[in-house]
């Protein structure tokens, strides 16, 4: 892959639980890393269930491998891209060349959110 294909800026968010002044545990997403990526839309589906139309878009992000990105996982990280928060579905490493990592993500662009955090 040519380096000039990495032309979109993405931000990696990490889930943290903080305690407020009265002891409540609050979920928070903090920006922890930013890098350039090649972004490709894989699919976009729209379904209607009980009167609510949901649009889900699948996207792949190809980024250069780094030590931080090797620890990336779907349970504690998300990707912020163009104002949308993408849920990570899988992280695919390139073991042959050790150069790039492909991150497959989904975002719900319409409909009721099912985010548990």
**Structural domain for 14, as ranges:** 3-110
Domain count, the chain: 1
Question: pLDDT tens digits for 13-35?
Answer: 999 999 989 999 998 999 999 99
Q: Which pLDDT score, from 0 to 100, does residue 111 have?
A: 61
Residue 67: give its domain's CATH number: 2.40.10.270
Give the whole-angstrom CA distance, residue 6 versus residue 81. 14
φ and ψ of 69, to 5 deg: -70, -20
The pTM (predicted TM-score) of the whole model is 0.81
């Amino acid at each position: 892959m040519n380096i000039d294909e990495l032309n979109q800026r993405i931000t990696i968010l990490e889930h943290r639980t903080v305690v407020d002044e009265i002891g409540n545990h609050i979920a928070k997403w903090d920006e922890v890393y930013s890098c350039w990526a090649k972004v490709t839309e894989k699919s976009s589906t729209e379904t209607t269930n009980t009167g609510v139309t949901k649009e889900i878009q699948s996207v792949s992000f190809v980024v250069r491998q780094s030590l931080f990105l090797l620890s990336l996982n779907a349970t504690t990280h998300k990707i912020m891209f163009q104002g949308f928060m993408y849920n990570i579905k899988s992280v695919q490493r390139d073991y042959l060349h050790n150069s790039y990592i492909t991150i497959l993500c989904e975002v719900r662009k319409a409909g009721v959110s099912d985010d548990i955090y």
